[in-house]
């Protein structure tokens, strides 16, 4: 799809204020406790050099689908509110009655609400809901966020914690699987819940709090473990925290001498691009080297709003990579994946990982055979730029870590010659014998 930006109303974020949530045990976005503000003001380093002013990007009502959706469901909401990330978060679609007023539910979708209790709560921002088909239950975007009865079916080999994260957590919310890096879960709150979420056992239930006491325990563990050089912040979505709290966390980590790299895992640019504000970006750029792992699943997510948010992050010097989960009926074709990775590159996002869907409980309807992923890599390698080809991995069940999978490009050996197959399925020989002196 062609990604363009049209002129419209400015994106204006309202002053920071708590967003009230009251259902399904969701952890609230952060409050603005004066004590936390004081802590942040003490520990946050002053930015060096001149102040960089990011342009005010202008976005309006960008497509007939968005215009129709807003006219039908939010007729009196001005652009200023629509483009406010806190308004978007507080108006999430979270109930069966709301869905019924917006889309025509299929029997399988309705059964998810009426026949059983969902493990993962429902949550979709109004912005992301504009990408959901009203009538087609098989539309890719719709399948990723609208629950179905298939979520309740448990297949052989599935588990609530397939990656064994709980068994590798020396501190609650801190996962130490690899020698030199840790995963720090800041909260369990997301603005939009993906139905294939690996952490559906904890996300959206209020069990992971961004409390200072818990985080200080995690910081102490990192400080005492000098092998840790890389910290990945995830959750939930770290960017759903307020700037003060997130700045305090990044600042505390930056005070640990052996921590070299900070990373943030987020789906915000895809589901809530309004969250990427000049204020947020100015704060983030103080903590370089800072990397960001984004989560894009389908080319329909590559909207002008997503382009704007990624441009702001890239302009701040933050390298962006996308981690895409391979999903049956969503992106499991060479054509769809090629469109996605090409759009990501235009948005200055490097396709990083293509994940085989983890065997979480109730995920059978999303999982593809391994051969499907290999087919997609074969369809990309050589047929498009190398930057567009992600690494296909299985995150090994039980905590084995990421294992890369590649098509069989090495055919075999003949004496001192390596026989290779190229992207056109043609065979070539590469001499591996040592140098001969003359």
Give catalytic residue positions. 177-178, 181, 190, 194, 197, 199, 358, 395, 402
Other C-beta atoms closer than 10 Å to the C-beta of 15 total 7
SS3 call for 322? strand
| Structure tokens belonging to residue 119 | 């493990």
Largest CA distance in the chain: 85
Q: What CA dihedral angle connects 356, 190, 247 and 42, to 10 degrees?
A: -130
Sheet hosting strand 427-431, strand order edge to edge: 410-414, 417-421, 427-431
- Alpha-carbon span 44 to 203, nearest angstrom: 29
Number of H helices, E strands in the chain: 15, 12
Eight-class DSSP state of 18:
P
Tell me if 228 sits within 8 A of 259, measured CB to CB.
Answer: yes
DSSP 269-292: HHH-GGG--HHHHHHHGGG-SEEE
Other C-beta atoms closer than 10 Å to the C-beta of 248 total 23
92 phi-psi bin (left φ>0, alpha ψ -120 to 50, beta other): beta
Q: Where are the alpha helices (DSSP H) in 285-361?
A: 304-315, 334-346
Burial class (CB in 10 A: 0-12, 13-18, 19+), 28: middle
User: β-pairing, 410-414 with 350-356?
Assistant: unpaired
Question: For the chain, how big is the Rg over CA atoms in Å?
Answer: 23
- The strand pairing partners of 403, in sequence order, are 394
């Amino acid at each position: 799809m062609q990604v363009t930006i049209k002129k419209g109303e400015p994106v204006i974020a309202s002053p920071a204020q708590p967003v009230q949530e009251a259902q399904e045990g969701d952890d609230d976005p952060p409050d603005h406790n004066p004590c936390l503000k004081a802590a942040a003001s003490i520990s946050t380093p002053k930015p060096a050099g001149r102040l960089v002013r990011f342009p005010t990007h202008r976005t309006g009502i960008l497509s007939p689908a968005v215009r129709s959706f807003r006219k039908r469901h939010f007729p009196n909401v001005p652009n200023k509110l629509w483009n406010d990330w806190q308004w978007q978060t507080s108006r999430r679609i979270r109930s069966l009655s709301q869905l019924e007023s917006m889309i025509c539910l299929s029997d399988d979708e309705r059964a998810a609400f009426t026949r059983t209790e969902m493990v993962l709560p429902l949550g979709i921002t109004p912005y992301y809901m504009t990408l959901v088909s009203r009538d087609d239950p098989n539309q890719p975007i719709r399948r990723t966020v609208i629950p179905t009865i298939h979520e309740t079916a448990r297949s052989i080999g599935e588990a609530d914690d397939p990656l064994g994260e709980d068994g590798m957590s020396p501190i609650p919310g801190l996962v130490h699987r690899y020698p030199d890096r840790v995963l720090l879960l800041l909260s369990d709150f997301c603005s939009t819940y993906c139905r294939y979420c690996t952490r559906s056992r904890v996300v959206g239930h209020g069990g992971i709090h961004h409390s200072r006491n818990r985080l200080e325990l995690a910081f102490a563990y990192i400080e005492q473990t000098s092998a840790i050089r890389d910290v990945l912040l995830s959750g939930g979505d770290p960017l759903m925290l307020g700037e003060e709290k997130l700045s305090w966390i990044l600042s505390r980590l930056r005070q640990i001498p052996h921590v070299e790299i900070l990373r943030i895992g987020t789906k915000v640019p895809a589901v809530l691009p309004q969250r990427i504000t000049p204020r947020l970006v100015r704060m983030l750029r103080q903590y370089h080297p800072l990397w960001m792992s984004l989560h894009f699943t389908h080319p329909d997510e590559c909207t002008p709003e997503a382009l704007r948010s990624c441009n702001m992050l890239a302009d701040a010097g933050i390298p962006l990579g996308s981690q895409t989960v391979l999903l049956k009926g969503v992106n499991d074709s060479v054509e769809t994946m090629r469109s996605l990775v090409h759009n990501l590159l235009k948005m200055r996002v490097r396709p990083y990982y293509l994940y085989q869907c983890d065997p979480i409980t109730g995920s059978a309807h999303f999982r593809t055979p391994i051969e499907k992923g290999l087919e997609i890599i074969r369809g990309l390698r050589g047929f498009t730029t190398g930057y567009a080809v992600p690494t296909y991995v299985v995150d090994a069940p039980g905590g084995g870590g990421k294992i890369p999978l590649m098509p069989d490009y090495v055919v075999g050996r003949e004496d001192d010659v390596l026989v290779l197959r190229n992207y056109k399925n043609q065979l070539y020989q590469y001499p591996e014998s040592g140098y001969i002196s003359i």
